Amino acid sequence: MFSRQLAMRIFPQVKTASFGSHFSSINRFMSTETKNAITSAIGSAPVVLFMKGTPEFPQCGFSKATINMLGQQGVDPQKFAAYNVLEDPELREGIKEFSEWPTIPQLFIKKDFVGGCDIVMSMAQTGELTKLLEDADALVPEDEA
């Protein structure tokens, strides 16, 4: 499900215009190199997380919660890639512009932007996250679990 639509269900008090208007001042500042690097990163695995820190050592509570949820869902480590935005300020700002989403972490499944921590947690509660991960064939096979 497109994350803005889900965000509007979860946070109905947020006006749609506020998502786009926040980015009007930063759009078009991302270099072609950064855009290509992000596109390549998103295509590097079925499940991609841009986060603060690493899966082994998350540097914020939201990144830690998202990593923990992906682990609880049974995401196959061989079908998962994480990128530490703290290592590269251009990546940190570029991913926000790329997805038009102001916060990190950011989850992509099969190259589609899913959302941040709140969206991931909500989708896990409703079963939508499990369905997306199953459809992406990104879970550890049951015979290996």
**What residue spans define the domains of the chain?**
3-8+41-135
Residues 3-36: tens digit of each pLDDT: 444 444 444 433 333 333 333 344 457 889 999 9
Q: Which CATH superfamily is domain 3-8+41-135 in?
A: Glutaredoxin (3.40.30.10)
* pLDDT value for 14: 38
Amino acid at position 70, single letter: L
Burial group, residue 129, by CB count within 10 angstroms (0-12, 13-18, 19+)? buried
* pTM of the model as a whole: 0.80
Strand partners, 139: 75
Residues 39-83: tens digit of each pLDDT: 999 999 999 999 999 999 999 999 999 999 999 999 999 999 999
* Predicted confidence band of residue 142 (pLDDT cuts 50, 70, 90): confident
Whether 106 shows a pLDDT value over 90: the answer reads: yes
